[in-house]
Structure 1
Amino acid sequence: RVYVKNIDEFSPITFKPVPCALQLKPCNRATQSTRICRSNCYKLLNACLDESRLSRVKGAKAAKIVEVCAKFSSPDEESCVSLDPFLEAMGENVTEQYTMPCSPDPCGPAKFCEVNHHCSKEEQGRRCDPTECKPGCPVGQVAAYLVPTDAFVPIPTVVSGKNNCYRICQCKARIQECESLYCVPQDYCTILPDSGIDMPVTAEALTMDPSSTWHSENGGRHSTQSSRTTNDLPTSGGFPSSYSYPPTRLPLQSLRHGSALFVKCNLCVCFGGEITCSKRNCNDSMDVSEPSFFQLPCYCEPKYLPVCTYTGLTLPNECIAKCLDLKYVKGECNEIESCSQPTACNVCEEDHQVCLLKSDECNQHQCVQPYGCQSLPDDPVCDEEGTTHRNLCRMNEASKRMAYKGRCLYNCKDTAVCGVDGNTYTSECHAIARFISVDYEGPCQGFGIINNETGEVEGCAKDLVCPPLLTSTSCAAFIPPGACCPVCAGAIRILYSQKQIMRYQKALNTRGSGTVFTVEKVMKSLTRHIEVAECALYGHLTMEMDLLVLIKSTLVEPTDLHHQICALEAEKLAVLIQRGSPRIVTDLSTSILVYAKVVHYELQAPGQAPSLVSLPLPTTVIIAAFLLIHLAQ
């Protein structure tokens, strides 16, 4: 029992934020802790405990404070929620806002709500509906979460003698057609003793089993237990530690399924016995604290002679394609007319896409069914005249040509633009429809390399004019790999599992499904988790063979709050992937994602090393509520 003073008579202004914070339950965005800090608890109880009703024993007040705070607060000052920002004066009235049109859910049962992130791109004079209710299927008997119609869903299945087995089902009127079966071995990953890899020792590298062993060629058994434990190392929440130590030649690392470490400057993750790493080119002086450093794979020369790989990925030159062991033809992928090549299609439309499986030859066109349009599902396309059609078949009936997939967008620049993926798009709307962030206006003329000494971008056209960045204190400016211009966006880099894609495709091939894993499908699935209407998701496959996702404001003049919220949306998405959220793993397209790392940085002057953006809290209560609703899911 705790006796406290009447707060109406004792500093009510100090205590009003407490029930607000407890009601909102804000959480630390890295650890998802929802408990207040121990120092706040001590301070509050020391001020409000009614000493007249406590025991007269010396030290009773201090003992009671320690007892109560041990139950309701966190001793870790870095992973708790501080009440201090709630006690700060706002200074001026807050007029800006963001909207979450799907919260509360406006759709009825058996339908899920999808946000229209491009209302500003709607045709002037037409009503812009901020949401769309689409049919879906609940995952499980009591689950409220729905997946879209026709989506494939991994459903856990009990198989005698095996663990982590799933059936691939499909959403029709309900979850059904669950014939395909696959199992994911949660095996340890090992790096052989003779691999010669120098690895910085990080907290994540040592979260594995310290008694792990390896077998030498002569059958001997050796322990790899390190004398340094994770308690000796600083950590950075759920994300890889930015602290590095002198590289240590380890005889072997045995990594648990789902664990990550840095191999020099590359992030690696163990998934199902497979080690997946980014493909950054590390020099001997680099460590994991140099996130901005970018060097071409295999020390290729910075020549701009673009090539298109058979997976649909545009690369700056053939040296990089050879380095990545990808077949290619000359030119940007968007320039290649796939329909002009021998094809079985009577009616053909260009459909450029990037496939994620390296062994796939990625089809770059789509055959259009010339009749029976009424039996085909809705799959909107926009024609070259700016009219939306229900599907390709309907567009063909109207004798039109496709500009891009999806509903028509408006209020875009009509001239060609260069995307951050190195492709030239016919218009800004064309790039947006492909989930590609625009780098600059005009056709692509080069690719950028950040000089690690000056911090400046080199390799781009000298007369290139970058879009202006708003001078916002909360602009999380980031220059995508190979791009020329910085963008204000939340940014995460994602590793995906080639082996997991191969498991899925093997299972799906047994049922005659032609499902292909593409970047666009992954981005379309991830977009459903961006619930703030003023933030839009963009993403592409980089030449370092990881996925870069940018989340930036769609407003012409975004405020600090909008920059903050979009950065938080990116961090939320990274946490969902990191923690294997059901929202991620129940969608086949996103269940291949095995690791995510936040990489947006504050814009620095040339020559300064970038640092992780620190988001100020001008509207602390709003941000706290946002963290509760989204990061804790």
Structure 2
Amino acid sequence: MCSEGAQALVCIHNHEFSGVRMEKFTNMILYIVVLLTFIFNGETLASECCSNATDEACRDACATLINPDSERNKNELGQLKNLVLVSEFCLPQQTAFWKCINMTVPVVKSMMAWSAQPCCEKAVNRYCQEACYQATSVRELVRNCSQSTETKLYKCIEKHGDAEQCCRPARSYNCHLICRGTHMVSGLGRQKQRYIIRRQCHGVNQPIMQCVQNRHRPVRESDPDLSLPCCYEAPADSECRNTCIKGIQLRYPENMFMEQLVKKCGVPKIHSDPLWACFLLNTNIEGDIDMERNIIDGARLQCCTKANTLACRNLCSRTFSTDWANTWDDFNTKCQSLAAPVLDVIMEGPMLSCMAEVEEPCQLGCDGLSFCSNFNNRPTELFRSCNAQTDIAARESLTSWQNGTIRLPQMSIPVKDIRECEPEMWKALVCALQIKPCNRRATPLPLCREDCFHILNQCVDHSRMKPGHTLQLLCNTLSPGDSKHGACISVKKYLTESPHKHYGHLITSPCNPNPCNDNQVCWINRRKCRHPEVCLPYVCHSACGMGAVTNMYVPKNTYVRIPDAEKDFHSDGQCMHYRMCQCRHHNNLDNCKRLPCIKRDSCSTSKGTKKHGEHFKIDCNHCICNSGQLLCTQHRCPLEPGSEGLTGLPCDCTPSFAPQCGINGKTYPNRCMAQKCAKLRSHELIPGTCSTVDPCADNPCGDEYRCMSKRSVCLSNAMDNTCYQYECVAVMGIDQCERHDHEPVCDTDNDEYTNICLLLAKKKRLAYRGHCQKYCSDNGVVCGHNGESYNSECAALADRTTVDYLGQCRAVGMYSGNLTTTNNCANVVCRAVKPKQCRPITPPGGCCPVCAAEIRIVYSEELLNVAASAMNSAVITLADILLILSRQLSVVQCDLYGYLSVENDIVILVAPVSAQPSMLLVRACSKEAERLGYLIQSDSPLMKSYLTLSPLLVASIHTPGVASLQSTATPLSTPSLVVNTGLLLYTLYTWLHSV
């Protein structure tokens, strides 16, 4: 036996080793000594390396890396993982820091000898481990390391080989090292891996990312051939069966496969169609939170949270998550069928309205109808179902009504010959039932009560009326609303052609109907084309369905929020559980993770107790109760008599203009508003506007990169993380730029580039970020409504900011409720508003009015932080939100602008994009704004499925009026766009499919 102490190495040598083996063992001991030195002198190395970090986040991560008490630091793979996590916070431009790390961390030194060396600790046999530490390639391991017994070691080395292949394009050692590290350590997740590589490998990350993507494609959890027997439930030699077999044999992605089945086999009828029942009964999602392809409909699943009864919420959740075949009948009968008591169905109106909105969203304009032609050329009205199929259905339904009886689920109405009695009104009614104009409030049928009385009074056959049935009873049942309060839409307007017949072509919606292929979403194309003659007005973008059978699609790379029905089944209903997923490979939602639950706690207010999600007003402010927290707009309400000493401005600040740039990238008019309203501290403010602060002054990118200003207003974690106002661009050839990195920029020649790397590679000068603009001036400084100065009007519009006035910002404008007669805008000259007939609005904080619709949005910073954390993003910026919202617009001639107000809400402006806008176009843009405001206010899945938009909670809207008419400015305390209830949807469905 070898004794302990100084003689131990000699004893080991005499008993076990000789020659080369002793040399290898000695080298291994030397490595261990270096490692122990690292561990026991972590404090010294911390002061040496961490002090070189240029920001606090990097210093904290560095301290974790060299913490001597960390169990992870006691082995190489653990060190490597810590090193990779450090790179998440420390940019490569911190040259002194990285040089120190590369010289002192043992795992870096060992990887210089052989990059796979961290795998050696995976070896089971100690002789194999010794050989591994001394090897410089895998060939040297074969004699000492059996591949059959050292499976963990060789699997790690195989991952190292993949890493070498992917990381070969790296041009810097840091990029190469971190790229390999992200492949070799476990537990990062593909999204974080991509995020870290993107930060460390500026300019060359596209080939690396492509390699990462190709080597990490998700695989199916089970053999799809197991589903092949379901295809034979379809009729022999039918297109349905052939499509099914082909899709399985060719391994179609799930969403594409399901869509093809819907096309060839018809809409799913789970309770009566053997093929659909077979597929959905055999859906396999056991314990898999990384793939959401098998959810029936993630959008309608969100509607389940709106159920008023626990029974309906559970049935709904089971139906639209995975158990449609077993629960559809129960859900349909108990929660939405007209066979149930009417009051029960109306009580679940919010849930059913939500589903109707998802299935048939309101869309602006209607064209291309032949039978219901009076519905054409209406570019300022919203419809649910304007298409050729509903046009045909309206004609057929009217024919069936001509037999003398109108059969409804609740009753049958005997009528005279409608070919002679009010024929045009009956046609308008049947078309309205099919085309479905969107009305203000939820009603069982869109027919207004006065229209109902008129048409039935003229045409009902009293001789065949059932005892007890009166016109009053019929119309109260069918049409409980009246047109005065916006509860219905009168069909009288559709008795004649549209007054805009000759002007409708000036307002175009190229994405309605959707011209794109399956698994694609349509966006308005606002990019400047190099060859306009072949440029389409829309762009088709790859997308993922929100479930196996769904009408809603989200663009590729989008993060979505889906209710976690499995967790909800085991909860007490006081907490709503969600998952975050990403639209990625093969048009499927994956990379899922659970989000913190959202509590349903109520709020105590001056108006009494309010439920979670309830909207209400306190004085002039719009409020919502969100998880027990009261969130309201922060408007200064009109001053009461005797309130002298109050300025009427936000936080009762003075109107002095002495701008301060906040750490969040927002310019505030003065220090008072920055500190009192935004709660910023003195050291978080820099005198002057943010546009005058040079973020590249200290050369944060180092010598290998070019620092370019990139202004951002940060909304989440703005006070805890650095809100970078620049980006580091590698100066290299055009072939090394990421062509798919879409962050458009415009050069001084008014030519547009996909990103700034491409612009610099072409040796061009940057004029401004964003799309190249039309209908604007590119000369002369302007002040935006956000209080920021821009070099030109075009630069402001490209930054999604409307222009307040010409020249540098120099005044504190008006805010909500500001009734003071004097203000600091006296030295400002406003431009003429176009069109002249417009009665404009003045955005908060602005001096000059603009002919645009305004939406003011209250958001939850807590939910924004949760979303940012789930996406592995340091912050969510205002630009992130504006980009997604802008893609919801359908009219080419309207665009969306916005800024963060000093009252801490988001101000959105939807305005015409035209040199000479008409009032018709203004009204169309206002309707677009109303639609967006309603989707936010109603918590619609069409909006809240986007994780980034889920924190938007309250929306109030004001629209411009016409100078000769009464203003139409209305808040959204009662939403101006509300979907018909589920009762309407299923009434119409039953009615029109039974005749």
Q: Shorter-chain TM-score: what band? A: 0.7 to 0.9
Per-residue CA deviation, residues 184-205 of structure 1 (Å, 9 max, x unaligned), is 11221234xxxxxxx5xxxxx5
Per-residue CA deviation, residues 89-128 of structure 1 (Å, 9 max, x unaligned), is 8678643442110112111123211013x58x77896555
1:311 to 2:664 alignment:
yes
**Which residue among 458, 477, 487 is the counterpart of 1:47?**
458
Distance verdict in 2 for CA 1:133–1:32, change over 3 Å? farther
* 2:546 matched residue in structure 1: 139
Q: Secondary structure at the match of 1:187?
A: coil
Aligned partner of 2:522: which letter? Answer: C
How far did residue 463 of structure 1 move? 5.1
Q: Return the alpha-carbon distance in structure 1 between the equivalents of residues 496 and 517 of structure 2.
A: 41
Aligned partner of 1:272: which letter? Answer: S
Q: Secondary structure at the match of 2:469?
A: helix
- Per residue, is there more helix in 1 or in 2? 2
Q: How many aligned positions are there? A: 541
> Do the aligned residues in 1 keep the contact of 2:856 with 2:956 (CA within 8 Å)?
yes
1:430 to 2:795 alignment:
yes
Distance verdict in 2 for CA 1:471–1:613, change over 3 Å? farther
Q: Secondary structure at the match of 1:440?
A: strand
How far did residue 470 of structure 1 move? 1.8
Q: Return the alpha-carbon distance in structure 1 between the equivalents of residues 463 and 604 of structure 2.
A: 63
Aligned partner of 1:471: which letter? Answer: K
* 2:875 matched residue in structure 1: 516
Q: Secondary structure at the match of 2:760?
A: helix
Greater shift, 167-176 or 479-488, is seen at: 167-176
Per-residue CA deviation, residues 36-83 of structure 1 (Å, 9 max, x unaligned), is 12221111101012345557xxxx6x9343443344222455312223
How far did residue 5 of structure 1 move? 2.4
1:498 to 2:861 alignment:
yes
* 1:248 matched residue in structure 2: none
1:449 to 2:814 alignment:
yes
* 1:196 matched residue in structure 2: none
Greater shift, 371-380 or 591-600, is seen at: 371-380
How far did residue 536 of structure 1 move? 1.0
Distance verdict in 2 for CA 1:33–1:306, change over 3 Å? farther
Q: Secondary structure at the match of 1:492?
A: strand
Distance verdict in 2 for CA 1:33–1:491, change over 3 Å? farther
Greater shift, 591-600 or 145-154, is seen at: 145-154
1:152 to 2:559 alignment:
yes
**Which residue among 590, 596, 602 is the counterpart of 1:176?**
590
Q: Return the alpha-carbon distance in structure 2 between the equivalents of residues 597 and 161 of structure 1.
A: 34
Q: Return the alpha-carbon distance in structure 1 between the equivalents of residues 429 and 859 of structure 2.
A: 42
> Do the aligned residues in 1 keep the contact of 2:443 with 2:481 (CA within 8 Å)?
no
Q: Secondary structure at the match of 2:947?
A: coil
* 2:154 matched residue in structure 1: none
**Which residue among 425, 428, 436 is the counterpart of 1:25?**
436
How far did residue 258 of structure 1 move? 1.2
**Which residue among 722, 725, 728 is the counterpart of 1:367?**
728
> Do the aligned residues in 2 keep the contact of 1:27 with 1:34 (CA within 8 Å)?
no
Aligned partner of 2:745: which letter? Answer: V
User: After superposition, where does 1:167-566 map in structure 2 within 5 Å?
Assistant: 167-173=579-585, 174-179=588-593, 181-191=595-605, 199=606, 205=607, 253-282=608-637, 285=640, 295-323=648-676, 324-326=678-680, 327-345=684-702, 346-357=705-716, 358-360=718-720, 361-370=722-731, 373=736, 377-379=740-742, 380-415=744-779, 416-449=781-814, 458-462=823-827, 464-472=829-837, 475=838, 477-508=840-871, 513-566=872-925
Per-residue CA deviation, residues 553-602 of structure 1 (Å, 9 max, x unaligned), is 11222333222211111111111111111121111221110111112353
> Do the aligned residues in 1 keep the contact of 2:864 with 2:948 (CA within 8 Å)?
no
Aligned partner of 1:420: which letter? Answer: H
How far did residue 540 of structure 1 move? 1.0
Aligned partner of 1:394: which letter? Answer: L
Q: Secondary structure at the match of 1:488?
A: coil
* 1:239 matched residue in structure 2: none
Q: TM-score, normalised by structure 2?
A: 0.50
Q: Secondary structure at the match of 1:471?
A: coil
Aligned partner of 1:190: which letter? Answer: S
How far did residue 376 of structure 1 move? 6.0
Q: Return the alpha-carbon distance in structure 2 between the equivalents of residues 482 and 560 of structure 1.
A: 25
Q: Secondary structure at the match of 1:338?
A: coil
Distance verdict in 2 for CA 1:486–1:311, change over 3 Å? same
Greater shift, 338-347 or 28-37, is seen at: 28-37
Gaps of 5+ in 1: 192-198, 200-204, 206-252, 287-292, 615-623
> Do the aligned residues in 2 keep the contact of 1:294 with 1:449 (CA within 8 Å)?
no
The higher-RCO structure (CA 8 Å, 6+ apart) is 1
> Do the aligned residues in 2 keep the contact of 1:476 with 1:613 (CA within 8 Å)?
no
Q: Secondary structure at the match of 1:413?
A: coil
Q: Secondary structure at the match of 2:711?
A: coil
> Do the aligned residues in 1 keep the contact of 2:759 with 2:765 (CA within 8 Å)?
yes
Q: Secondary structure at the match of 1:479?
A: coil
Q: Return the alpha-carbon distance in structure 1 between the equivalents of residues 686 and 977 of structure 2.
A: 50
> Do the aligned residues in 2 keep the contact of 1:122 with 1:411 (CA within 8 Å)?
no
Q: Secondary structure at the match of 1:268?
A: strand
> Do the aligned residues in 1 keep the contact of 2:957 with 2:970 (CA within 8 Å)?
no
> Do the aligned residues in 2 keep the contact of 1:113 with 1:134 (CA within 8 Å)?
yes
Q: Return the alpha-carbon distance in structure 2 between the equivalents of residues 570 and 370 of structure 1.
A: 42
Gaps of 5+ in 2: 1-411, 986-995
Per-residue CA deviation, residues 382-428 of structure 1 (Å, 9 max, x unaligned), is 23333322323323322334333334334420122221101112222
> Do the aligned residues in 2 keep the contact of 1:166 with 1:181 (CA within 8 Å)?
yes
Distance verdict in 2 for CA 1:330–1:537, change over 3 Å? same
Q: Return the alpha-carbon distance in structure 2 between the equivalents of residues 69 and 367 of structure 1.
A: 67
Aligned partner of 2:437: which letter? Answer: P
Q: Please identify the structure whose Cα radius of gyration is greater.
A: 2
Q: Secondary structure at the match of 2:622?
A: strand
Distance verdict in 2 for CA 1:459–1:129, change over 3 Å? farther
Per-residue CA deviation, residues 419-470 of structure 1 (Å, 9 max, x unaligned), is 1101112222222222111222333232322697989783225351323332
**Which residue among 557, 569, 572 is the counterpart of 2:931?**
572
* 2:508 matched residue in structure 1: 99
Q: Secondary structure at the match of 1:267?
A: strand
C-alpha root-mean-square deviation of aligned residues, in Å? 3.5
Distance verdict in 2 for CA 1:34–1:405, change over 3 Å? farther
Q: Return the alpha-carbon distance in structure 2 between the equivalents of residues 408 and 134 of structure 1.
A: 21
> Do the aligned residues in 1 keep the contact of 2:775 with 2:915 (CA within 8 Å)?
no
Distance verdict in 2 for CA 1:461–1:367, change over 3 Å? farther
**Which residue among 112, 121, 126 is the counterpart of 2:521?**
112
How far did residue 476 of structure 1 move? 5.7
Q: Return the alpha-carbon distance in structure 1 between the equivalents of residues 752 and 517 of structure 2.
A: 26
Q: Return the alpha-carbon distance in structure 2 between the equivalents of residues 374 and 68 of structure 1.
A: 68
> Do the aligned residues in 1 keep the contact of 2:648 with 2:817 (CA within 8 Å)?
no
Distance verdict in 2 for CA 1:123–1:588, change over 3 Å? same
Q: Secondary structure at the match of 1:35?
A: coil
Aligned partner of 1:107: which letter? Answer: C
Q: Return the alpha-carbon distance in structure 1 between the equivalents of residues 760 and 662 of structure 2.
A: 29
Q: Return the alpha-carbon distance in structure 1 between the equivalents of residues 769 and 543 of structure 2.
A: 21
How far did residue 265 of structure 1 move? 2.7
> Do the aligned residues in 2 keep the contact of 1:448 with 1:459 (CA within 8 Å)?
yes
